[in-house]
Amino acid sequence: MTARAPLPWWSWLWLSAAVVILDQATKALVLARFAPGEEFPLTGFFSLVLAFNSGAAFSMLASAPGWQRWFFVGIALAASVFLVWMLRRGGERMLCAGLALVLGGAIGNLWDRLAIGRVVDFLLFHYHEWAWPAFNVADSAITIGAALLIIDSFRQRPVKLAVPVRHK
């Protein structure tokens, strides 16, 4: 079986852009149709709800007095630069897809922080009194991308030796 030729690094930016567009479109729809805290059950375990998060994952640092906005903006900018650098280095499709998904998610949430000072969340899984913290499309892309990066890190690759081996 022949290996597929790697895609140019910049072609993966289309995946990142698709994540950002889908993320921002769904957030705009929820912002237009829901009041903060309003919940619309879709099933017995899944609802749409408008929630805002000024912190990070699981609302970490959400109660801080405001400095966290710029802290997370800085982290997202640095992560985005690093992810583009990694994409430019190239690699197999799973690696590049993971990087592109994480990049799109980081930019989607960065957009919220710059535009409104906090991240819009609206997807809520729950069961009786238990609820997973609300999240959004960008968070989902980051999670899926991170999973792809972890899986890719365990894949076997042929070893390329920098120095030729001499046999006696």
According to the model, what pLDDT value does residue 68 have?
73
8 A C-beta contact, residue 50 and residue 120:
yes
According to the model, what pLDDT value does residue 58 have?
57
According to the model, what pLDDT value does residue 54 have?
74
According to the model, what pLDDT value does residue 71 have?
85
- Classify residue 15: in a domain, yes or no: yes
- Classify residue 160: in a domain, yes or no: no
- Classify residue 123: in a domain, yes or no: yes
According to the model, what pLDDT value does residue 17 have?
98
Q: pTM here?
A: 0.84
Q: Is 139 a catalytic residue?
A: yes
Collect the ranges in the chain with pLDDT lower than 70. 1-5, 55-67, 157-165, 168
Q: Is 23 a catalytic residue?
A: no
> How many structural domains compose the chain?
1
According to the model, what pLDDT value does residue 77 have?
96
Domain ranges, residue 42? 9-56+65-154
According to the model, what pLDDT value does residue 9 have?
78
- Classify residue 18: in a domain, yes or no: yes
- Classify residue 166: in a domain, yes or no: no
**Residues forming beta bridges with residue 48, ordered by sequence position:** 40, 123
- Classify residue 3: in a domain, yes or no: no
- Classify residue 159: in a domain, yes or no: no
According to the model, what pLDDT value does residue 145 have?
98
8 A C-beta contact, residue 80 and residue 106:
yes
Residue 37: φ, ψ to 5°: 85, -15
Q: Which candidate in 23, 112, 139, 152 is catalytic?
A: 139
According to the model, what pLDDT value does residue 159 have?
66
According to the model, what pLDDT value does residue 168 have?
66
CA dihedral 86, 88, 92, 94 (to 10 degrees): 60
- Classify residue 161: in a domain, yes or no: no
The CA radius of gyration of the chain, in Å to the nearest whole number, is 20
d(CA 4, CA 107): 29
According to the model, what pLDDT value does residue 2 have?
56
